[in-house]
Homo-oligomer: A and B are copies of this chain.
Amino acid sequence: MTPSKTFKQKLAHIIFDYNTVPAKMFDLFLIAAIIVSVIVVMLDSVPGIHAAYGGFLYGLEWFFTVIFTVEYGMRLYVASNRPRYVTSFFGIIDLISILPTYFSIFFPGTQYLLVIRFFRVLRIFRLLKLVKFVKEGEYVRNAMVASSRKILFFLFFVLVTVSIIGALLYLIEGEEHGFHSIPEGVYWAIVTITTVGYGDILPQTVPGRALAAMLMIIGYSVIAVPTGIVSAEMASMNQQLHTDLSRIGTCCKTIDHDDDARFCKECGKPLG
């Protein structure tokens, strides 16, 4: 609020806010850089493109890595609470999205891990002022967290089922039909129960196929369980979501009020 800000305050404003033109420009440039850098990593892995433009893409990769390193340094510099930023979700993503390029000097190949940079695109939601969007991500996450124990229980049941049926198929089909070990049988059972069905490992005997058919029917029926869990959770979340969203935008559309706010921070109108 004071007219003369320090350099650090100005920088913090550009990096963390999103209301002014320089802050918007910074965010837009950042998003573009992130998306282009991910595409560069992907294209560089295509043999034909690598042969033709490998040097150019390698240069681009270092260009983006330097940009992101500078950005990481700036965020570290202006952060009011450095340890908190470093250990935050975006802090960790920001760091591991630049490390692979440096690692690739010593360990060739690791630069492909740069696709982790894709996570950085999540910053786009912040740029677009999609406050509701972030809220919705939060609700989806909340619904998943609320259901996670039930889903873990369900996954445990699936794990036990595929272990036992995978072992049985190894016994029934044996190595001559491509089941070389119990872990391979379990892999086949996972491919089958999830209805992926590659077809690289296949039961060929009558009891093996009967068991496989049983596993498919189980997988087909059992998919109902996590869906039911999440649906029921979402249904009750949905009500809460509508209640919560009614707090946003009644007076000043673009503003997300704090959860404990009783009045709009822009116009002073009381909130519902």
Contact = CB atoms under 8 A, between A and B. Distances in A.
A193 B234 CA distance: 22
A182 B227 contact: no
Interface stretch (A13-21, A60-68, A196-204, A256-264): A196-204
Contacts of A47: 175, 180-181
Interface string A160-199: 1001101110110001000011110011001111111111
B164 A115 contact: yes
Given A183-B45, A183-B46, A192-B196, A229 B236 contact: no
Interface in A194-240: 194-200, 202, 206, 209, 212-213, 216-217, 219-221, 223-238
A228 B234 CA distance: 6
A193 B220 CA distance: 9
Interface string A102-123: 0000000100110110110110
A78 to B, nearest CB: 27
Interface stretch (A23-31, A81-89, A151-159): A151-159
A38 interface: yes
A98 interface: no
A79 interface: no
A17 B65 CA distance: 56
A123 to B, nearest CB: 12
Contacts of A156: 121-122
A95 interface: no
B158 A217 contact: yes
A212 B197 CA distance: 12
A144 B193 CA distance: 18
B229 A232 contact: no
A225 B166 CA distance: 28
Interface stretch (A1-9, A69-77, A131-139, A247-255): A131-139
A36 interface: no
Given A136-B149, A163-B118, A232 B224 contact: no
Contacts of A195: 194-197, 220
